[in-house]
Amino acid sequence: MASRLGALVCVACVAALAACTTSPQASRPSAQVVSELAPSGTMRAAINVGNPVLATMNTATGQPEGISVDLARELAKRLGVPVSFVIYNAAGKVTAGVQAQQWDVGFVGIDPERAEYMDYTPPYVIIQGVYMVPQDSKINTNADVDRAGVRIAISGGSVYDLYLSRRIKNAQLVRAPAPSLVTDMMLTQHYEVAAGVKQRLAADVARLPGLRLLDGNFMVIRQAMATPRNRPEATRYLTQFVEEMKSSGFVAASLQRHHVDSAEVAPAETAPQ
């Protein structure tokens, strides 16, 4: 009897320790949180189907699906409000959308320039920005790209466009209106390099002959949830929500369910970045 009681006490201690060391669960949302995340009574979620890591359109149903859609639905369920999806085909259009007050919750790559218009949570996934070149290109490393005469096709307004705009000194960035048009623009205009999210460019390499990815990446993209600026209670709640979604396995399960293998769950953080 004593040994059994001791075992139960031990189990209780382990459970208590685990509760102290895991990320805090998102508390029950206050009326202020609900008001900031769904001021119209419906939570408007910006969904970028131009980034296949985040979302794609299901051609059979005509509805978006992916990790950002799953997170938006789970969040709306906790808030007790309906969700509507505001669909964009490029990240730059998501940024323009927040300026036009078109959405309440977004899913974007963290960048200091975007912080003028929105507040971020910690990241929930990490993805890679990579370069793609023709198979016979003499460009073989990421360091070879930033040279005079090299033209880089890129999706305008994307987080990797913002990043490279600050760092490229010699090559020229040539902007397409959406990620889906970058490879076609590179090929038809005979540009030397394309830049983008690894999953999209890897899919282009698989379906089109004569292309290859450069090894490694030129940046790591920290993908976060966001709200329009000056909604502090919403940002605090979303921070807890994101940390719980990572620690509970929700994010990992969603990535697996949607067959996303070029992204990883972001490590735990304790405060928005």
What is the tens place of the pLDDT at every residue in 95-112? 999 999 999 999 999 999
Q: Residue 244's pLDDT band (boundaries 50, 70, 90)?
A: very high
Q: Quote the pLDDT of residue 28.
A: 84
Greater pLDDT, 201 or 2: 201
Provide the pLDDT for residue 26. Answer: 61
Return d(Cα 192, Cα 47) in angstroms, integer.
Answer: 31
Q: What is the mean pLDDT of residues 191-208?
A: 96
> Are 46 and 137 in the same domain?
no
Which residues constitute the domain of residue 116?
A: 2-127+222-265
What is the secondary structure of 116-184 as a DSSP string? GTEEEEEEEEEEEEEEEEETT-S--SGGGTSSTT-EEEEETTSHHHHHHHHH-SSSEEEEESSGGGHHH
CATH of the domain at 46: 3.40.190.10
SS3 105: strand
Distance CA 150, CA 185 (A): 15
Asked if the structure places residue 271 within a domain, the reply is: no
Q: Is 272 within a domain?
A: no
Q: Which of 198, 183, 114 is nearest to 152 (CA)?
A: 183
Q: What is the pLDDT of residue 271?
A: 44
pLDDT in tens, 250-270: 999 999 999 998 899 999 985
**pLDDT of res. 261:** 87
H-type alpha helices, the chain:
2-21, 31-37, 67-79, 91-99, 159-167, 182-189, 198-207, 232-247, 250-257
Q: Do residues 110 and 14 both lie within one domain?
A: yes
Report the mean per-residue pLDDT for the chain.
90
Q: Residue 21 pLDDT > 50, yes or no?
A: no
- Split into its structural domains, the chain has a count of 2
Q: Judge if 122 and 6 occupy the same domain.
A: yes
Which residue shows structure tokens 């910690």?
122
Exposure of 120 in the CB half-sphere (CA atoms within 13 A): 22
Last residue of a domain, one of 181, 201, 219: 219
pTM to 2 decimal places? 0.84
Residue 89 structure tokens = 């085909």
In this structure, are 82 and 213 located in the same domain? no
- 163 vs 196: CA distance, rounded Å: 11
Reply yes or no on whether the pLDDT at 163 is more than 60: yes
State the pLDDT at residue 7: 40
Please give the Cα distance from 254 to 268 (Å, whole number).
17
In a domain, 174, yes or no: yes
99 within a domain of the structure (yes/no) = yes
Dig out the tokens for 215 from the structure. 């090894």
Residues facing residue 175 across a β-bridge: 154
Output phi, psi for 150, to 5 deg: -90, 130
Residues 22-77: tens digit of each pLDDT: 344 567 899 999 999 999 999 999 999 999 999 999 999 999 999 999 999 999 99
In a domain, 46, yes or no: yes
**Closest to 106 in 3D by CA, of 29, 42, 37, 41:** 37
